[in-house]
Structure 1
Amino acid sequence: MSESKTLLISMGDACGIGPEIAVAAWAAEARREDLCLVGDVGVLRRAVAWQGLSLPVARLASPDELAGLPPDCLPVWQPEGLPADLLDCPVGRIDARAGRAAAVCIEAAVAAIQAGQAAGLVTAPLHKEALHAAGVDYPGHTEMLQALAAPGGAAPPPVRMMLANEELRTVLVTIHMALREAIDMLNIERVLQTLQISDAALRRFGLTAPRIAVAGLNPHAGEGGLFGREEIDIIAPAIRLARQQGIAASGPYAPDTIFMRARNTPTHPGEFDLVVAMTHDHGLIPVKYLGVEQGVNVTLGLPFVRTSPDHGTAFDIAGTGRADASSMGAAIRMARRLIS
């Protein structure tokens, strides 16, 4: 969309650890000239203090003002429409004002990207209940960004959620919905589209012949129909169609072992570059078990780069200065790689 290399970093939920990890990750980066925070200046100043940092904070009228700032000055673009009393929100609690502010920051950031003022977005965690309390009709970042990527009533682009670290990548066919509903949502077209989006993303990452493993839905991948027919009627036909399109997909494999086969370590080269999982927890539990501190969530299929840390708002430690910004830092570095 733009030649700009600026990365916007949203503050997330003001009552959680988002503001703290946003400023801590910014401060930890060796190069910062391409990073601009999006949020409330007062909330982010408070986060600077909670992190024990000594940083001047500059309020920007737009991301275009980033150029020329001193390197040790935290740049904050405060978009219009934020609640005026965010600092009054109880830290570590669900508050509709924090939900509204998180949504306003995302909306403003996407508009700035679409206007050519930035190239990508790194999002700090928001809280789904706070969004709901604010009347925002999206279950999370992914669905909101999908809708915002198609302004003017156009059909939203098909997107998928990928969680990745240095050892494992997984992409989900279904995301934020009840498990019963997710199973009902599975069909050949949806699985095939996930494989197409995953293959395109891996090629964008520089892999010329990506190897994609597809996890089954049922125990032992259905055991030939004994434990369910989704593998026979939906997943295997989608894999066949993908292979006809030149996608190196294989499976369906038993979901309790395929992630171990795909895990890539110095002593165990992974057999696959990515695993496609049918449901949210099937895919995310293995990656998060390996360590949330380096996990990165990437939204595939958007017309711009979006990454985020793979953890939530952590209300229990908000305001204590104990929040670990490692995953946020990893998300910044992943976003840079994707827009370079």
Structure 2
Amino acid sequence: MTDKPVVGITMGDPASIGPEITAKVFDKEWIYDKCNPIVVGDAAVMGNALEILGKTHMKINPVEKVEGAVFSRGTIDVLDMKLVDMSVLKLGEVSEMAGEAAFRYVEKVIGLAMNGDIDATVTNALNKEAINLAGHHYSGHTEIYAEMTNTKKYTMLLAHDNLRVVHVSTHVSLREACDLVKKDRVLDVIRIAHDACRDLGIESPKIAVAGLNPHSGENGLFGREEIDEIIPAIEEACSQGMDVDGPVPPDTVFSKARGGWYDIVVAMYHDQGHIPLKVVGFVYNKEEAKWDAVAGVNITLGLPIVRASVDHGTAFDQAGKGIANELSLENAIEYGILLAKKKLED
């Protein structure tokens, strides 16, 4: 047992697909071969998810502390926070109650990791509208983790197969994102990207930095951010011994990374990095009208604890139907295990 990291997995918004995809993953043999997983959430909601999925061979083990977990396939250990009134909960709908619960699960799992009770945290999706209704004014998980761990320099990493992307900015308007492209921030993200690749086992990472403007500004013709901010950051990173290329035009850099030119791409803003990841990771089957794959993982870098997450939202339209795809959660748990083992080695 001691050679397996303990992974705390938040249930996500109780009205979302989170409980269902969590139950699906806990029914897979590999998860117990690689880690000791425990859900942070509500036992009653997880029990309802088992009923929706028809998994009558599985049972819920509500616990008050991690020490009470049995870590055995067929049993889902749930650190039961008892925050959801099942008579009120409506699957697929935004509510203050669900938002409050989802926020408290995240708060709890961060505390467990900071105290050393678990080795990694993995998060299911929360709904930003719901947590704001509950009075928690954050734009997402990343900002919650940064504040609760007192982390100043952090970034989001998205990964699917060999495509890895980090961001200079994320949950801000596009207009504000352009203003945030500054040398010091770009350099910080390059450094974080370099260290992340090393943690993932890439000994000598090759880093691409995307341009902000079309054609990377075309020598100032389409904007000066590359000349004034991005190129100086790249030059300083190279002088510190990092292997960095750019600014690479954003319309080609991701195809090059997929082709093996680069180990990781520094994107300038949220959608510049998210769109290519989701184009390759989210596969919709038009004939069968369902998602064949919803793959990829979201990792927060720069934290004192390990945090990996699904790379999709709450999917309220699928909640309660038992059809949600669990692949992204599997990916997130696998990355959480990998990073936890690296952290334990260090």
Change in CA separation of 1:253 and 1:14 when aligned onto 2, cut-off 3 Å: same
SS in structure 2 opposite 1:136? coil
CA contact (8 A) 1:168 1:287 kept: yes
Change in CA separation of 1:324 and 1:87 when aligned onto 2, cut-off 3 Å: farther
Change in CA separation of 1:241 and 1:26 when aligned onto 2, cut-off 3 Å: same
Q: CA deviation at 1:295?
A: 0.5
Aligned counterparts, 1:31-110, within 5 A: 31-32=31-32, 34-54=36-56, 55-66=58-69, 68-79=70-81, 83-110=83-110
Change in CA separation of 1:339 and 1:320 when aligned onto 2, cut-off 3 Å: same
1:148 aligned onto 2:148: yes
Aligned counterparts, 1:227-238, within 5 A: 227-238=222-233
CA contact (8 A) 2:121 2:308 kept: yes
- What corresponds to 1:206 in structure 2? 201
- What corresponds to 1:317 in structure 2? 318
Change in CA separation of 1:111 and 1:8 when aligned onto 2, cut-off 3 Å: same
CA contact (8 A) 2:162 2:263 kept: no
CA–CA separation in structure 2 for the residues paired with 1:87 and 1:248: 57
SS in structure 1 opposite 2:67? helix
Mean CA deviation greater in 10-19 or 69-78: 69-78
CA contact (8 A) 2:38 2:71 kept: no
- What corresponds to 2:139 in structure 1? 139
CA–CA separation in structure 1 for the residues paired with 2:137 and 2:55: 36
CA contact (8 A) 2:300 2:308 kept: yes
Change in CA separation of 1:16 and 1:87 when aligned onto 2, cut-off 3 Å: farther
Structure 1 runs of 4+ with >4 Å offset: none
- What corresponds to 1:6 in structure 2? 6
CA contact (8 A) 2:209 2:247 kept: yes
AA in 2 matched with 1:287: L
Query: What is the aligned-residue identity percentage?
Result: 41
1:288 aligned onto 2:256: no
CA contact (8 A) 1:18 1:313 kept: yes
Aligned counterparts, 1:129-208, within 5 A: 129-150=129-150, 156-208=151-203
More strand by share: 2
AA in 1 matched with 2:166: V
CA contact (8 A) 1:4 1:117 kept: no
Q: What are the superposed Cα offsets for residues 149-191 of structure 1, whole Å, 9 maximum, x if unpaired?
A: 12xxxxx231110110113111111001111111112211110
CA–CA separation in structure 2 for the residues paired with 1:93 and 1:87: 14
Q: CA deviation at 1:30?
A: 2.3
- What corresponds to 2:266 in structure 1? 276
CA contact (8 A) 1:13 1:313 kept: yes
- What corresponds to 2:301 in structure 1? 300
Q: CA deviation at 1:70?
A: 4.1
TM-score, structure 2 as length reference: 0.91
AA in 2 matched with 1:76: V
CA–CA separation in structure 1 for the residues paired with 2:311 and 2:139: 16
AA in 1 matched with 2:306: V
SS in structure 2 opposite 1:225? coil
SS in structure 1 opposite 2:218? helix
CA–CA separation in structure 2 for the residues paired with 1:29 and 1:180: 47
CA contact (8 A) 2:37 2:71 kept: no
CA contact (8 A) 1:3 1:119 kept: no
CA–CA separation in structure 1 for the residues paired with 2:265 and 2:157: 10
- What corresponds to 2:27 in structure 1? 27
Change in CA separation of 1:29 and 1:229 when aligned onto 2, cut-off 3 Å: farther
Q: CA deviation at 1:86?
A: 5.0
CA–CA separation in structure 1 for the residues paired with 2:217 and 2:167: 19
CA–CA separation in structure 1 for the residues paired with 2:71 and 2:212: 51
Residue of structure 2 aligned with 1:222, choices 217, 224, 246: 217
CA contact (8 A) 1:149 1:157 kept: no
CA–CA separation in structure 2 for the residues paired with 1:230 and 1:325: 40
Query: Runs of 5+ in structure 2 lacking a partner?
Result: 283-293, 342-346
CA contact (8 A) 2:20 2:50 kept: yes
Q: CA deviation at 1:132?
A: 0.8
AA in 1 matched with 2:228: D
SS in structure 1 opposite 2:209? strand
- What corresponds to 1:267 in structure 2? none
1:118 aligned onto 2:118: yes
AA in 2 matched with 1:193: D
SS in structure 2 opposite 1:30? helix
Query: Runs of 5+ in structure 1 lacking a partner?
Result: 151-155, 265-269
